[in-house]
Chains A and B, each alone.
Chain A
């Protein structure tokens, strides 16, 4: 294996992102879907850092820090939403919430 490091890093980021995407599509448990979104965000951040190390510029790492902050905010709001859904439906199945009640 004689890949260029940037290629290898982007390949790893792509694989992780696709795994997260597959998990979002096939899982029906809401917490697992939230975890998959985390995996995808993490893969995107990895791609940014790899690009930063390729060009020798700091911008990619700055974007990684913004992604971290966004992931933290997203998880807190997402968990609060899941909590509300669980209190309303008594279940973590996302298909339970597919019908509107009104």
Chain B
């Protein structure tokens, strides 16, 4: 077993532990991004560099940004600026920053060394993945497209604000 794998796995488990014990959603998201980056490094050590890139782009990039955007959209108000100041104290970001730095150093080490993976690991090149994806799995790719379409339509339908059916005076009466 590689030392790089051990360090990345350790960081992944620690960051995930922090995610599930954090009370503040933004801090949890920060640690979740670190955890995903660590898993990406683990994927890199397992001879799947393309999957590592996809993990960073889609998970740590798209999905996490979507969730952060959503969380920030929910708590609008005057205290938002105060909150933001409180979120970004150095005590909060120093540990994820150190984790990220260690992961970056590890990734640079792996790339610069260009060494063969440990015994028992076979590299599957992206070309082979693409051949499989558009060969025997073609129907599954089409179904995934339909799934994403359903996701878009469902999110649009569910996220729509419904029109008010009551006049506001009546609504006040109902409340009291």
Are B159 and A73 within 8 A (Cβ)?
Answer: no
Please tell me if A12 contacts chain B, counting CB pairs below 8 Å.
yes
Name the interface size band of chain B. 35 or more
Q: How far is the CA of A75 from the CA of B151 in the complex (A)?
A: 9
Closest chain A residue, CB of each to CB of B125: A58
Please tell me if A94 contacts chain B, counting CB pairs below 8 Å.
no
Q: Contacts of A26 on B, CB cut-off 8 Å?
A: 20
Are B19 and A35 within 8 A (Cβ)?
Answer: yes
Q: How far is the CA of A70 from the CA of B140 in the complex (A)?
A: 12
Distance in angstroms from A94 CB to nearest chain B CB is 14
Q: How far is the CA of A5 from the CA of B1 in the complex (A)?
A: 6
In A56-89, the 8 Å CB interface with B consists of 56-62, 64-66, 68-77, 79-84, 86-87
Name the interface size band of chain A. 35 or more
Are B122 and A80 within 8 A (Cβ)?
Answer: no
Are A66 and B144 within 8 A (Cβ)?
Answer: yes
Are A58 and B54 within 8 A (Cβ)?
Answer: no
Q: How far is the CA of A71 from the CA of B32 in the complex (A)?
A: 15
Q: Contacts of B119 on A, CB cut-off 8 Å?
A: 5
Q: How far is the CA of A65 from the CA of B3 in the complex (A)?
A: 27
Chain B positions 102 through 133: 1 when the CB is less than 8 Å from some CB of chain A, otherwise 0: 00000000000000011111111000110111
Are A61 and B124 within 8 A (Cβ)?
Answer: yes
Q: How far is the CA of A65 from the CA of B133 in the complex (A)?
A: 9
Chain B positions 1 through 40: 1 when the CB is less than 8 Å from some CB of chain A, otherwise 0: 1100110010011001101100001001100100110010
Q: How far is the CA of A4 from the CA of B59 in the complex (A)?
A: 28
What are 10 A-B pairs at a CB distance below 8 A?
A16-B35, A20-B16, A34-B67, A38-B63, A42-B39, A49-B46, A53-B117, A70-B147, A77-B151, A77-B158
Q: Which 3 interchain pairs have the tightest Cβ spacing?
A: A73-B151, A56-B122, A80-B158
Interface residues of B (CB under 8 A from A): 1-2, 5-6, 9, 12-13, 16-17, 19-20, 25, 28-29, 32, 35-36, 39, 42-43, 46-48, 50-51, 54-55, 58-59, 62-63, 66-67, 70-71, 74, 117-124, 128-129, 131-133, 137, 140, 144, 147-148, 150-152, 154-159, 161
